[in-house]
Chains A and B, each alone.
Chain A
Amino acid sequence: MLSYAVRRLLEAIPTLLVIVALSFFLMHAAPGGPFDSERVLPPEIEANLKAAYNLDKPVWQQFVIYLGNALQGNFGPSFTYKDFGVSELIGTGFPVSMRLGLTAILLAVLVGCTLGILAAMRQNTRTDYSIMGFAMIGITIPNFVMAPLLTLIFGIYLGLLPVAGLGDGGMRNLVLPVVALALPQIAIISRLTRGGMVEVLRSNFVRTAHAKGLPERLIIWRHTLRAALLPVVSYLGPAIAGLVTGSVVIEQIFGLPGIGRYFVQGAINRDYTLVMGTVITYGTLIVLMNLLVDLVYGLLDPRVRYD
């Protein structure tokens, strides 16, 4: 188990390297630089600027310098937020994004599993159909449509919840963003749970349990759930990636000061260092989360062997 974890961790390194290299070289292949402006700078000043950001060296050398700094957690200065380092910006944004993301994934798993179990237990009844209909809506309507619609209904027409911003940082301000972010995942997870449950409920060991006269509740909790939730656990990796992507839009819509907003602002302003810093942060997060999910899966499913 431990050696498997270590090996997976080592395997993650080339993936991360590819992420860094791809984004670095793509960014540098871009026509036009961060200092292109209407105002033509005197050549000496431009040279000084380039020297300050190491832009005068060959690209591969810049890459090595960047990699070395990034390993120490230094993503260089931001091109647009002149007085801040990218690491600082990410440092301030990260807790906000993390809080949003973690709450959303918790909500998605809890609500998604409950709905899925409910639908499977009442298979082919009205409950089942309405839950699955809801899931279809949740999957097809993207969260950048859902978020404004939710705000329109709950924030403006009903006036129940704050429309945007972090306010005093209370949970009330996060309700709409978290729900909008979690909805598609709730939908997918409930479908997966229902599918898993329906399949397991038909399996031989559940029939045996019934034949032994075990009470229904025990069969569900002991026997069915564990097997039925395996697809959900293996979906958590993509779910996290989906949440991260979704959070970019959600932070933008609700004006939350997380890393997603920095990413979009950086992309629009061609702030190379900021974009790369956020992409590397996101990449690392997703790779590590996938690793964690795989390990948890191994713990839950006795059929998985590490070799």
Chain B
Amino acid sequence: MVKDMTGAAQRSALIEKAAEEVQGRSLWQDARRRLFANKMAVASMIVLGIIALMAIFADVLSPHAYDEVYWDYIGVGPMLENSHWFGTDANGRDLFIRTLYGARVSLMVGIVTTLVALVIGVTYGSIAGYFGGRIDSLMMRLVDVLYSMPLMFFIIILVVVFGRHIVLVFIAIGCVEWLTMARIVRGQTLSVKRKEYIEAARASGVSTPNIIRRHIIPNVIGPVIVFVTLMVPVVILVESFLSFLGLGVQEPMTSWGVLISEGAAQMENAPHMLIFPAVFLAVTLFCFNFIGDGLRDALDPKDR
């Protein structure tokens, strides 16, 4: 009897010691380690960070104003003397600062709109997934109907109808792009709700807030984060598309879509006007895609 007691005490001491030696790693630590092991993703984060910093400190980096017209330099290529590093556009405005202002608009549209879509999609999807049954099938039927529609055209109609204001572009794209988000969140909620580990946690007396915090949220949020990163480039693209058509950001403000459209019109005599904004847009889209792919690989523990 006494011997047994000491044996048990020894064993528990051993277990404690082992636990101290092997530090437990949470899902997030694991994910971070895997993400930082992905060279493309890290490189993309650095490049994107540089572009974002350039956008923020645009006015410090260039002596020119984005809407200042230089009559002597109209549509000239890159030159160093006057610090028109990217040359000037067809109206004689400095292209470097305009490209960076375009970056501001594009990044802002990407992030704000994604947040709009995130809020709508997560709310809608989790309600449908949580209640299930008839409410769920009705709500998802609506999503299906909206899905089979040419949504780009609705964005354009929204912009045409309510004027070409930048905030409206945010809202219009966000209102349209939440559909996939709702589907993902609903599917995750449905499947996580019935998982055995939730059952097990409940059976071993874990409280509901703790179950939600420790088990449901981490399992729902992974795919959502991945989708959010992959959605930012889509939104940036849509905004550029609208601006390219002349329906987005209005003069003298600019965005990459506007710059590319202007560049495309002048490409015979001033190809730099097309190339610089196009490169910035393409690099940004690349970066977001690589980060999204990296996050997906990092957050999916099943796919090691």
Contacts and interface: CB of A to CB of B under 8 A. Distances in A.
Contacts of B163: 31
Contacts of A14: 145
A23 B154 contact: yes
Interface stretch (A168-176, A224-232, A280-288): A280-288
B282 A141 contact: yes
B152 A140 contact: no
Contacts of B271: 152
Interface stretch (A59-67, A75-83, A241-249): A241-249
A61 B159 CA distance: 25
Given A14-B145, A30-B162, A139 B245 contact: no
Contacts, number: 110
B182 interface: no
B149 A15 contact: yes
Contacts of B75: none
A144 B241 contact: yes
Nearest to A145: B278
B268 interface: yes
Given A141-B285, A144-B240, A249-B241, A152 B150 contact: no
A27 B148 CA distance: 20
A18 B149 contact: yes
B299 interface: no
Interface in B146-163: 146, 148-150, 152-154, 156-163
B260 interface: yes
Contacts of A149: 274, 278
Interface residues on B, range: 35 or more
Contacts of A290: 148
Contacts of B247: 267-268
Contacts of B282: 140-141, 145
- Centre residue among B160, B274, B282 by max chain A CB count within 10 A: B160
A241 B154 CA distance: 13
Nearest to A22: B154
Interface string A17-32: 0110011001101110
Summarize B's interface: helix, strand, loop or mixed.
Answer: helix
A142 B145 contact: no
B161 A145 contact: no
Given A15-B148, A141-B282, A252-B245, A275 B264 contact: no
A248 B245 contact: yes
Contact of B150 (A27, A151, A244): A244
Interface string B265-293: 00110010010001001100110010000
Interface in B129-188: 145-146, 148-150, 152-154, 156-163
A283 B150 contact: yes
Given A26-B161, A145-B281, A156-B267, A279 B241 contact: no
A93 to B, nearest CB: 15
B110 interface: no
A264 B152 CA distance: 12
B289 A249 contact: no
B7 interface: no
B63 interface: no
5 contacts: A26-B158, A144-B241, A267-B247, A279-B154, A282-B153
Interface of A: 14-15, 18-19, 22-23, 26-27, 29-31, 136, 139-142, 144-145, 147-149, 151-152, 156, 241, 244-245, 248-249, 252-253, 263-264, 267-268, 270, 275, 278-279, 282-283, 286-287, 290
